[in-house]
Chains A and B, each alone.
Chain A
Amino acid sequence: AQSVTQPDIHITVSEGASLELRCNYSYGATPYLFWYVQSPGQGLQLLLKYFSGDTLVQGIKGFEAEFKRSQSSFNLRKPSVHWSDAAEYFCALSGGSYIPTFGRGTSLIVHP
């Protein structure tokens, strides 16, 4: 069975500070991993994804994520957060069954 854990329900950062959102997964092989962002009242939008190659993946809006097989993690980072980054962030995994599994989401709050 595959699973995704986002241990932080809420994260609060000050504008301009760095950000790291945690994602751990459980899957028997190399998974396809995604980070999506959901702004209030909107659908999800892909930030970045990993399925092979370089373990450091660059995405849109200045986000990056690093795949660490030894830690079963795919943490999302941004060096300097903007107020417009306040949103819900979802980590997702897709494996051989094509059925995607989403984490519970992490709500990012940005203080001015």
Chain B
Amino acid sequence: DTAVSQTPKYLVTQMGNDKSIKCEQNLGHDTMYWYKQDSKKFLKIMFSYNNKELIINETVPNRFSPKSPDKAHLNLHINSLELGDSAVYFCASSQFSGAEETQYFGPGTRLLVL
């Protein structure tokens, strides 16, 4: 009964490839997020969707494109992968989009670009 799930858990790929990471939450939440955690453990928000609408879009290369087919899913597609994209990507959700909201995190997708 995983609340926030991500697939795949590990992703190893070559530079220049295109890859997608999928995220699903079964909590009935309205808001979903993508975070990037680098090798120094810094965690930075990339995107947030509220009811399938983009509400946060931080300074992220446009090679990264989020897609939310419904409010339970938020996928991340990455074009032309670069070495610097290697990181752990976390999906999260919260009931609403307010600043006081608790976020529920998925287990992460470990991306390694060779």
A43 to B4, Cβ gap below 8 A? yes
When the two chains form the complex, which single residue of B42, B58, B101 contacts A99, counting CB atoms closer than 8 Å?
B58
A90 to B43, Cβ gap below 8 A? yes
Using a CB–CB distance below 8 Å, which chain B residues touch chain A?
A: 4, 40-45, 48, 55-56, 58, 90, 92, 97-108
Q: Which residues of A contact B45 (CB under 8 A)?
A: 99-100
Using a CB–CB distance below 8 Å, which chain A residues touch chain B?
A: 32, 34, 36, 41-46, 49, 51, 88, 90, 94-100, 102, 104-105
A32 to B100, Cβ gap below 8 A? yes
B100 to A94, Cβ gap below 8 A? yes
Q: Which residues of A contact B55 (CB under 8 A)?
A: 98
Q: Which residues of B contact A43 (CB under 8 A)?
A: 4, 90, 92, 105-108
Q: Could you list some 26 contacts between A and B, CB below 8 A?
A: A32-B99, A32-B100, A42-B108, A43-B90, A43-B92, A43-B106, A43-B108, A44-B103, A49-B100, A51-B99, A51-B100, A88-B41, A94-B99, A94-B101, A98-B48, A98-B56, A98-B97, A98-B98, A98-B99, A99-B45, A102-B42, A102-B43, A104-B41, A105-B41, A105-B42, A105-B43
* Complex: A102 Cα to B33 Cα, angstroms: 14
Q: Which residues of B contact A46 (CB under 8 A)?
A: 102-104
User: From residue A74, how far is it (CB to closest CB) to chain B in Å?
Assistant: 14
User: From residue A55, how far is it (CB to closest CB) to chain B in Å?
Assistant: 16
Interchain residue pairs A-B with the least CB separation, the first 5: A43-B105, A94-B99, A102-B43, A44-B105, A105-B41
* Complex: A70 Cα to B41 Cα, angstroms: 29
User: From residue A28, how far is it (CB to closest CB) to chain B in Å?
Assistant: 13
* Complex: A99 Cα to B44 Cα, angstroms: 10
B44 to A102, Cβ gap below 8 A? yes
Residue of B nearest to A94 (CB): B99
Q: Which residues of B contact A99 (CB under 8 A)?
A: 45, 56, 58
Q: Which residues of B contact A34 (CB under 8 A)?
A: 102
* Complex: A88 Cα to B81 Cα, angstroms: 28
User: From residue A38, how far is it (CB to closest CB) to chain B in Å?
Assistant: 8
Of the listed residues A36, A42, A49, A102, the one surrounded by the most CB atoms of chain B closer than 10 A to its CB is A102
